[in-house]
Amino acid sequence: MAGTRIVIAKYLGSLKVDSDVIDRMMKMMVGKPEYPAFSAISSFLNECSIECEIINNGLPVLCDDMCIARVKAEDFTVVLILQATSERVKYLTSQGNVIVDSFDQFCTEYQSESIRFKVSDLNAVKDRVQELEDKSKNEAPIDASIGNIRRLSKLNEPPIYRFCRFFSIYFSYVFIRMKIQPNHITFLWLVAIAGASFSFSLGNWWGHQIVGALLILLGYTFDCSDGEVARVTKTYSKIGVYLDTIAHSTSGLFIILGITLGTYNSINNPGILKVGLICMFGDSMFNYLFRQLNSWSGQNSVYGLFHPILMPLIWLFPIDLNLFLVGAILNQSWASLRIWEIGSIILSGFMMLIFFLHEYVYEKGYMKRINW
């Protein structure tokens, strides 16, 4: 759902809607019943004095207007179509990637539904958003019950997160009553991971490993909880998105650093530091390439050929932390680090090969065929 907000925000920004107004609109929109269905989006934006047209009879072509289209991906996602003709479709993904497909290729992923916006009066939009905010302040209080938190936490996600949500809903219940913001919970997640890294750095004693494993699980729980609190309280921000991205990108590096230092302190072999550096490089490469390739695989029919291969990796995600978690429980953290050192490099090389084949083999031939 975050991708839907990003694409809608980019579309509204192209229509000259003020960024502050867009942020306020997004906070209200995500709390609407049936969101992210196009009907719910259209209904809300109409309330904000933005004209919406839902097109159900195929992709609009040969027009200069942009539109948002729903395409088939892991859980269905949306893209912002920049240009659509009978020969090619140029669109922007929520990750900021501009992709060009032939019309026929795009239609293999297109879900026969798109929506267009039109803004006639920017001041009217701003005034209407203010009215809706004032009205929402007088509505019924937030439903912060355990049942509602559990209902909003039912997401299609990897098994480790499903397990942690059995506990995160109770943390979220307390956080909401203490009026703790989602961004603060994300910070607690980073603190838990840093604590796990410190515990691993103390050495290979099994007690240190178990404490590190428990702190990793606590970090997972906080990762679940920040989203739950945001959905229940309808509290979203750009800073929150950035913090979440930073936490996901650095958590594995923290743990690698801790395991490397702990093993080095126990064995005092300089070669261990080299392994740690290689593992950190491989981890960074894998996470970046995987997220890019996964975003493209559901939105581009060529990358989509690899989607069945990526799906098992998605369900093991985050692979690095899960591997270190198992290694800590078995008191084999160093072994898990060596496995990930090799595995991350191999997987990164495989994904770089896919990227090379597409960009430098397929894409050049495709551009010639459509005279782009």
Per-residue pLDDT reduced to its tens digit, 235-262:
777 787 788 888 888 999 999 999 999 9
Contact criterion met (CB below 8 Å) for 254 and 193: yes
**DSSP bridge partners of 90:** 83, 100
Instruction: Kindly list the domain boundaries of the chain, sorted by start residue.
Output: 2-137, 146-370
pLDDT in tens, 63-116: 557 888 877 654 457 788 887 777 788 887 776 677 787 777 777 777 667 888
> Quick one: pLDDT at residue 1?
55
Q: What is the DSSP string of 298-347?
A: TT-TTGGGGHHHHHHHHHT-SHHHHHHHHHHHTT-HHHHHHHHHHHHHHH
* CATH class of the region 146-370: mainly alpha
Higher pLDDT, 26 or 1: 26
Decide if pLDDT at 323 tops 80: yes
Segment of 1-15, 131-145, 248-262, 291-305 carrying the highest mean pLDDT: 248-262
Decide if pLDDT at 295 tops 70: no
In this prediction, residues 128-148 reach a mean pLDDT of 75
Rounded (to 5) percent helix, strand, coil in the chain: 65, 10, 25
Segment of 76-80, 128-132, 341-345 carrying the highest mean pLDDT: 341-345
Decide if pLDDT at 281 tops 50: yes
> Quick one: pLDDT at residue 347?
87
230 vs 238: CA distance, rounded Å: 12
In a 13 Å sphere around the CA of 228, the CA atoms on its Cβ side amount to 35
368 vs 372: CA distance, rounded Å: 7
> Quick one: pLDDT at residue 95?
67
135 vs 147: CA distance, rounded Å: 26
Those residues whose C-beta lies under 8 Å from the C-beta of residue 330, and which sit 6 or more positions away, are none
Decide if pLDDT at 157 tops 60: yes
pLDDT in tens, 176-210: 989 899 999 999 999 999 999 999 999 878 889 99
> Do the domains at 2-137 and 146-370 have one common CATH topology?
no
Q: Kindly report the CATH number that applies to the domain delimited by 2-137.
A: 3.90.70.10
Higher pLDDT, 324 or 292: 324
Residue 110: in which H helix or E strand, if any?
strand 110-118
> Quick one: pLDDT at residue 72?
67
Grouping H, G, I as helix, E, B as strand and the rest as coil, residue 288 is helix
